[in-house]
Chains A and B, each alone.
Chain A
Amino acid sequence: MARKIGEVILDLRHISLSFGGVKALTDISFDVREHEIRAIIGPNGAGKSSMLNVINGVYRPQQGEIIFQGEHRKDMDTHAAAAAGIARTFQNIALFKGMTVLDNLMTGRNLKMRCNFLQHALWWGPAQREELEHRRKVEEIIDFLEIEHIRKTPVGRLPYGLQKRVELGRALAAEPKMLLLDEPMAGMNVEEKQDMCRFILDVNDQFGTTIVLIEHDMGVVMDISDRVVVLDYGRKIADGTPDEVKNDPEVIAAYLGTQH
């Protein structure tokens, strides 16, 4: 394996988030190291998606601190998170359905584009060069994800599994440091799951992208992740390597229930 796990890139400290009286997250702390694949698991309603939403600034926690690449923040905002190199996919696919695969991926490069809007409107020298350069990068990602044949297809027409792959592509187009995947394999058949697993591992391996993922398929999680954090009812109940977590009594209780 070429990749090696580096320093802590994201450190979440004592994060608490509530909506009105409902506590979604209570005093959660964990860290993510560079180049690792970090899984967040837990039963339904455990606060996994809320956790991702805190990391990329959709939700602002009432308490706690987020340290990304050494920078301390009280909370993220979505634009700052994207600019800092955090990309994500969504549990319910959030692609631009009317646009083609190519256009979807090109929007993913929005932040990388430097020319101003007037230059683009006029399709003027540097803007044209820039557009072509980004197009080349996007084509690389298209090749990587093996979606050449659907390049010009409007995303809304694609089957579910491919849409998930395109969404991963859009996130990759931003060349992120960290990739947040919210149930990347939900609703897929075995074959599609295997493909997606391969892509996630390849992304991690070839681009060195740090990955934080939420997944329900325990087989997958235990196979591909380096460390796993387990949430239940908005609290952290375990944190460690897949093997450690698997044998943790509290985790077993959360998943299988306890004897009374």
Chain B
Amino acid sequence: MQFFLEVLIGGLLSGVMYSLVALGFVLIFKASGVFNFAQGAMVFFAALSLVGCMEKGAPLWLAFILAFGIMTLLGIATEKFVLRKMVNQPPISLFMATIGLAFFIEGLAPLLWGNAVRRLDIGLVDEPIPWILEHWNMVISKFDLVAAGLALALVAVLALFFQYTRVGRALRAVADDHQAALSIGIPLQHIWALVWAVAGFVALVAGMLWGARNGVQFALTFTALKALPVLILGGFTSVPGAIVGGLIIGGTEKLAEIYIPPVMSGIFGGNFGGIEGWFPYVMALLFLLVRPEGLFGEKHIDRV
């Protein structure tokens, strides 16, 4: 039982890290109805900018602010040079534009900061918390706990922001209908620049945490792939959905990794490892059959 809990908690905590990446997708999707293919690239770019600033001698807090500045500029530039030309275009065109953007950012990042794998030290160590180890005899990583706390706080703030503020309402309005939003005087440009800057901020936090754990490298762009099943479970338009989806994926994939192989080996013989790698996608696939809009997504009602 203790071991089960340990695995589960470890899984849930790492799931929150997936949520963080998924959150970036949700933000852009909510504000423009577009799946932002470049989110993974943004995570990578943000982490590289952070490390780059630190290598130039900036302390962590300053580097964080500078990196946020860079991400904001990137957001504003994206609005100005890519999105502004594409108001009222069908979502698929915008989606294609984000694919182009992803390649652009992936090329720009090494050009600015070099392409070596970097270590990122944010003063958090990935080691068990002694108190928990002593009292409950469980290995819970301090790093995971703090990371999860950060992610949860961010999600809570964003969820409230979307639901209850004027800007949040304007964002939802823009996502729903560009033309109507313009007609009531919502400044589309500001809203898009804002949301891309916020998505940049989320990418920065995600990049910082993932980078501190796995090193800052090109592979960070693939964290985006981990966010996909989370999005399918939670729904593309729901901030709380991203967190719940992340928890479910994180928890189940770790449990599957530990408990399925012995059973499978018992039946078929041989060695069953690496279930963690594909299990979330199978979950997502099954989920799509049952509830395609996700747990918290908006159900679309079309009149025939």
Other A-B pairs, 10, CB within 8 Å; known A90-B183, A120-B167:
A58-B179, A79-B185, A79-B187, A96-B180, A98-B298, A99-B176, A103-B169, A110-B169, A115-B166, A120-B165
Q: Which of A78, A123, A127 contacts B185 (CB 8 A)?
A: A78
Complex contact A96–B173 (CB within 8 A): yes
A166-186 vs B: 1/0 string, CB under 8 Å?
A: 000011001000000000000
Which residues of A approach B to under 8 Å, CB–CB?
Answer: 56, 58, 78-79, 81-83, 87-88, 90, 94-99, 103-104, 106-108, 110-111, 113, 115, 117, 120-121, 123, 127, 131, 156-157, 160, 170-171, 174
Indicate the member of B166, B169, B301 with the most A CB atoms within 10 Å. B166
| With contact pairs A94-B179, A110-B166 given, residues A121 and B185 touching in the complex (Cβ less than 8 Å) | no
B153 interface hit (Cβ, 8 Å):
no
Which residues of B approach A to under 8 Å, CB–CB?
Answer: 157, 161, 164-167, 169-170, 172-173, 176-177, 179-187, 194, 237, 298, 300-301, 303
Complex contact B176–A98 (CB within 8 A): yes
Specify which chain B residues have a CB less than 8 angstroms from the CB of A131 in the assembled complex.
Answer: 166
A5: min CB distance to chain B, Å: 26
| With contact pairs A82-B184, A83-B185 given, residues A110 and B179 touching in the complex (Cβ less than 8 Å) | no
A223: min CB distance to chain B, Å: 27
Indicate the member of B161, B167, B176, B298 with the most A CB atoms within 10 Å. B176
Specify which chain B residues have a CB less than 8 angstroms from the CB of A160 in the assembled complex.
Answer: 303
Q: Which of B177, B179, B184, B187 contacts A108 (CB 8 A)?
A: B184
Complex contact B186–A107 (CB within 8 A): yes
Complex contact B185–A111 (CB within 8 A): yes
| With contact pairs A87-B184, A111-B185 given, residues A98 and B172 touching in the complex (Cβ less than 8 Å) | yes
Complex contact A107–B169 (CB within 8 A): yes
Specify which chain A residues have a CB less than 8 angstroms from the CB of B157 in the assembled complex.
Answer: 121
Complex contact A117–B182 (CB within 8 A): no
Distance, CA A90 to CA B184, complexed state (A): 12
Complex contact A94–B185 (CB within 8 A): no
Specify which chain B residues have a CB less than 8 angstroms from the CB of A79 in the assembled complex.
Answer: 182, 185, 187
Distance, CA A107 to CA B164, complexed state (A): 12
Specify which chain A residues have a CB less than 8 angstroms from the CB of B169 in the assembled complex.
Answer: 99, 103, 106-107, 110
Distance, CA A170 to CA B181, complexed state (A): 11
Specify which chain B residues have a CB less than 8 angstroms from the CB of A107 in the assembled complex.
Answer: 169-170, 173, 181, 184, 186
Complex contact A96–B176 (CB within 8 A): yes
A138: min CB distance to chain B, Å: 12
A-B contact pairs, 25 of them (CB 8 A): A58-B182, A58-B183, A78-B185, A87-B183, A87-B184, A94-B180, A95-B180, A96-B173, A96-B177, A98-B298, A107-B181, A107-B184, A108-B184, A110-B169, A110-B173, A113-B166, A117-B165, A117-B166, A117-B167, A117-B194, A121-B165, A127-B165, A157-B301, A171-B184, A174-B184
Distance, CA A123 to CA B298, complexed state (A): 25
A250: min CB distance to chain B, Å: 33
A58: min CB distance to chain B, Å: 7
Specify which chain A residues have a CB less than 8 angstroms from the CB of B301 in the assembled complex.
Answer: 97, 156-157
A180: min CB distance to chain B, Å: 9
Specify which chain A residues have a CB less than 8 angstroms from the CB of B179 in the assembled complex.
Answer: 58, 90, 94
Q: Which of B167, B180, B182, B183 contacts A121 (CB 8 A)?
A: B167
A104: min CB distance to chain B, Å: 8
Specify which chain A residues have a CB less than 8 angstroms from the CB of B184 in the assembled complex.
Answer: 82, 87, 107-108, 110-111, 170-171, 174
